[in-house]
Amino acid sequence: MQATDIILAGVMGMNLSDVNHAVFIAETTKDISDMDDFITYCRENKNKIEYATKTERLDTLAIRYLKQQEDIILGAKFKQAEKYAIALSKKVKECRTFVEDNYIGFENVGTAGAKHFTADELRMLKMIGSTNIVIEYSKVNRLSQMIYDNYSKAIRAKEKQVVIENRKQAKKLDLKINRF
C-alpha cells in the first residue's frame, strides 16, 4: 500500500481495511502515472458524480482522468497534423501545374537533383491516391483535409499500438512477479 493510495482512499471516503476497497484502488490506479495530480482531480470532481457506491465514483473519475490526459497528449499531435497538412497541401499546390503539364509524378519534382518532396510526404500523398486524385483534391481545396484525416488515423493507430504494447509488458511483468 502506497501513501498515495491512503490519501486517495481518504479523499474518496473509502476504507482500506476493506479488502475490496484496497484491491479496487490498486486496480483502478494502476494506469495512472501522476497520482498527486489524480488525487487533486478527484478532490475537485468527486461531487460532480452521483453514483450509489464509492467504487463506481472512483472508477468513473479514473476513466475521465485518463481520457483527459490522453486528449491533452493527442491534442498536441493533432495540431502538428494540421500544420503538416497545410504545409504539404501548399507544396502540392505550388507544383501541381508542372506535374500536370509534364505528366510526371510528385516523386520526380525537383531542381538540380534535389527532390521537392520528402519520402514521408510522398508516402502521405500515395495514401491519398494517385497523382491525378491528389491534384483534383488540391484543385477543390480538399487536399489539406484529406492529409489531416490520414495523419490523424496514423496517430490513433500508433497510440492504440502503444497501449497494446504497454498492456502486454504489464502482463509479462505481472507474470514474472507472480512466479517469485
In a domain, 63, yes or no: no
In a domain, 129, yes or no: yes
Q: Which three cell numbers stand for residue 47?
A: 461531487
43-62: average pLDDT: 84
In a domain, 82, yes or no: yes
H or E element: which one contains 54? Answer: helix 54-102
Q: Which three cell numbers stand for residue 41?
A: 482531480
3-26: average pLDDT: 88
In a domain, 9, yes or no: no
pLDDT by residue (tens digit) across 100-145? 888 888 887 876 556 788 888 999 999 898 989 999 999 999 999 9
Domain that holds residue 98: 74-179
In a domain, 153, yes or no: yes
Best CA proximity match to 40, nearest among 11, 16, 1, 70: 11
Q: Is the pLDDT of residue 173 over 80?
A: no
Annotate 97-158 with three-state secondary structure: HHHHHHCCCHHHCEECCEECCCHHHHHHHHHHCCHHHHHHHHHCCCHHHHHHHHHHHHHHHH
Q: Which of 52-56, 69-73, 173-177 is modeled with the greatest confidence?
A: 52-56
Mean pLDDT score across all residues of the chain: 84
Residue 105 near residue 131 (C-beta atoms within 8 A): yes
**pLDDT at residue 104, as a whole number:** 84
Q: Classify 93 as helix, strand or coil.
A: helix
54 phi and psi angles, rounded to 5 deg: -70, -30
**pLDDT at residue 54, as a whole number:** 84
Domain tally, the chain: 1
pTM of the model: 0.54
pLDDT by residue (tens digit) across 76-105? 788 888 899 999 999 999 888 888 888 888
Q: Which three cell numbers stand for residue 73?
A: 497528449
